[in-house]
Structure 1
Amino acid sequence: MQESLTYLDQTFINFREFLFDDHARRWVDIKRFSVSHSDVGDTHLLTELIGHEQFRDDYAGGGVEANGLRHGPYWLRKVSPAAYVRVDEMSANAMLCDWAAQFGPLPVALSARLEHEVHPLVAGATERYRLSDLGHGAFHDWGGVHGDFHELVFIDRPAKILSLLVAADD
């Protein structure tokens, strides 16, 4: 079967633009892909996502490595479609809100940016998945650098868009 995912763009929300304290080392990274074959299942889309070059990102400043072996804190080979669990809209929103506001209320401008960039993805998705915690055994050689690492995948079938969202800290 022909590939179903085509990389579109990326949005990066750096909390340092809005916060000026020790808790400003957080960020949200969103990568969007077009889904060209709407008849493929979610497992197939997750498999393609994991195999996509844009997925080979350690999210620690190195960026995407075409032949990379890491994804976030994990060895790429440890990530599989089975590692993703389906979540509902309320659970996805709660996880993101709890993470973002864990150190107190957010500035109005940051809340507005998250409301504009993140919440439409959650609300518009027909399917939502969260990457399970794969444990320390799946960490790559320096995989513990993130204090928090949350990953969600949103599939919006009517819009033919898959979004990969990572919310983490340095």
Structure 2
Amino acid sequence: MPATEFANLPLSGDSLTMEKPILLRALQTAREVLEKASKHKWNSPEAHYAFLPSAENQQLLKLFKEDVYIEEKEGKKICIRRLVPKEKKAGFIEEFNEVRGLLEDFTKPYGVVGGWRIEKEDEEREEWVLFSGFESVENHTEFAKTEGIVKYREIVGFASGFEVKHPRAAEGL
């Protein structure tokens, strides 16, 4: 099963401005190394795990040692997610497929893509990660004012919690 890696790199200290040329070069190098190693998508989770101890990956980690603060919770890095009790997974999938078009129509020309987290923190809970594009944070809040939001919010009944992050692309990458 192909796998996509989503990495959250929280910047620390003066790196938060993204104006550090050395950090930008490190991020460019990381992108190049990861694209070459994964060909934009890992063939399997095992292929990704095999890359982690590699010399290439260890060099990447050294590049970021002063600029990235790794916050862990129970040993796992936390990203964007919707938490779904295991017994509600099938219902969530069915409901999401029914309302997906509402989000896709609103976010055009940006796509909507999602998937289930492979590494579980809790065997009784699944994590759905959704990526979609919006022009701005304000544009995202406008989605909550649309007619279709009533139907879209029905997926909330399947989740036990969720997190929303609004990342932005770093210039120069």
TM-score bracket for the superposition, by shorter chain length? under 0.3
Q: Which has the higher helix share?
A: 2
Bigger Rg over Cα: 2
TM-score normalised to the size of structure 2? 0.24
TM-score normalised to the size of structure 1? 0.24
